[in-house]
């Protein structure tokens, strides 16, 4: 049975979208969704490009508000920015949470998005695997 992970950040336009896509593409038996505590309503074009360049973009990825997912059941909540970690809401049922913060590439050059992609792949994915094993 697949494990369900919710990835949270502030705007749900860069880091959480990249993490969602990486988890879905690289971790067998784990399905991810992402959301923002104050969702921007858009996916950053550079976040989309880095996912396209790595062959893991899906048209279903979009910026979502937390209220659209709050009633879903998750096996793990992952916060990828300090603001989301500090303001993470209570979910209807107790859900384990881990925090791994990454610098926000928004407003920076494409190389920062590539760096963020690599950091999430190298740091966050092993932590999620370790949590489920």
- Select which of 6, 9, 37, 39 is catalytic: 9
Annotated catalytic residue within 88, 91, 95, 121: 88
Q: Is 9 a catalytic residue?
A: yes
Place of tokens 């695997």: 129
Other beta carbons within 10 Å of 123: 12
Q: Which among 23, 51, 81, 128 is annotated as catalytic?
A: 81
- Is residue 14 part of the annotated active site? The answer reads no
Q: Which helix (H) or strand (E) holds 6?
A: strand 3-9
CA 108 – CA 129 distance, rounded (Å): 30
Residue 81 a catalytic site member: yes
- 9-48 in b/e burial notation, b at 16+ Cβ within 10 A? bbbbbbbbbbbbbbbbbebeebebbbbbbebbeebbebbb
Q: Are 42 and 75 in contact (CB under 8 A)?
A: no
Active site residues: 9, 81, 88
């Amino acid at each position: 049975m697949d494990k369900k992970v919710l990835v949270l950040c502030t705007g749900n336009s860069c880091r959480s979208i990249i993490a969602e896509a990486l988890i879905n593409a690289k971790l067998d038996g784990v399905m991810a969704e992402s959301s923002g505590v104050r969702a921007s309503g858009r996916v950053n074009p550079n976040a989309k490009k880095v996912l396209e360049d790595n062959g893991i973009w899906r048209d279903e990825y979009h910026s979502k508000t937390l209220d659209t997912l709050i009633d879903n059941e998750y096996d793990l909540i992952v916060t990828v920015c300090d603001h989301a970690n500090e303001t993470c809401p209570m979910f209807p049922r107790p859900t384990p949470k881990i925090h791994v913060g990454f610098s926000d590439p928004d407003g920076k050059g494409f190389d920062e998005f590539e760096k963020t992609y690599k950091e999430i792949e190298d740091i966050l994915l092993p932590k999620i695997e370790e949590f489920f094993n």
